[in-house]
Amino acid sequence: MANAIVMTNAWEIARNGQGKFGGKVKEYFSIALKMAWAIFKKEENQVKVSEWTTANGAKVYMETEHVTETTRTTDWGHEIKRDANMIMINEFTVNGKRLQQPNYVKRNIVNGMTVMDMGEITVNGKRTRGIVELPETIEKEVYGEFDRIEKEKKENVAKYYEQRAAQLKKDIENGYCTDCGSYCYGDCKAN
């Protein structure tokens, strides 16, 4: 059942690509099949498929997944689940070519502009820094929840340290000695 739905969607995506860019439908089928599977898995795995065209006409395809929990199995067979907050880039192509492994592509800011940074890549035999501008709408769609969680974490850490500093100040007023770590009332040898 799932295969039939994916295949139908893949042919539809390929026909749309042909109608938009010309050529033969079968030339678009490989990437259309990947896109159809990504769309199918999107409901289950939170996979986001993003496509955009840069200012100089390059067509960018990015498939991402927001991971909020990791699971690992110990040597004794116990599963350990931990909270996480990371964006996994499963696929990143520019004009249909994978210029770098997806896990090396990172969001970055270059000259005040948000970009997807591929690090050093070879283009036409020359080494260059591979960057692709990331549109604000796609950045919000892909990284919005990630950024919200990171901001919340930073606020919680700052709040914790504020509370800890206030408690330490109160403890010192009540006779706590920071040198020996107890309420020695000044009779310790730390002075």
Report which residue type is found at 40. Answer: F
Q: Sorting pLDDT into bands at 50, 70 and 90, what band is 185?
A: low
The token duo for 24 is 């033969």
Q: How far apart are CA 104 and CA 168, in angstroms?
A: 43
| Dihedral (Cα; 109, 129, 132, 91), 10-degree rounding | -110
CA distance 50 to 44: 17
pTM of the model as a whole? 0.62
pLDDT tens, position by position, 64-76: 988 888 888 888 8
143: confidence class by pLDDT, cuts 50, 70, 90:
very high
Banded pLDDT at 139 (limits 50, 70, 90): very high
**SS3 assignment, position 114:** strand
Is the sign of the CA dihedral 109, 106, 155, 171 positive or negative? Answer: negative
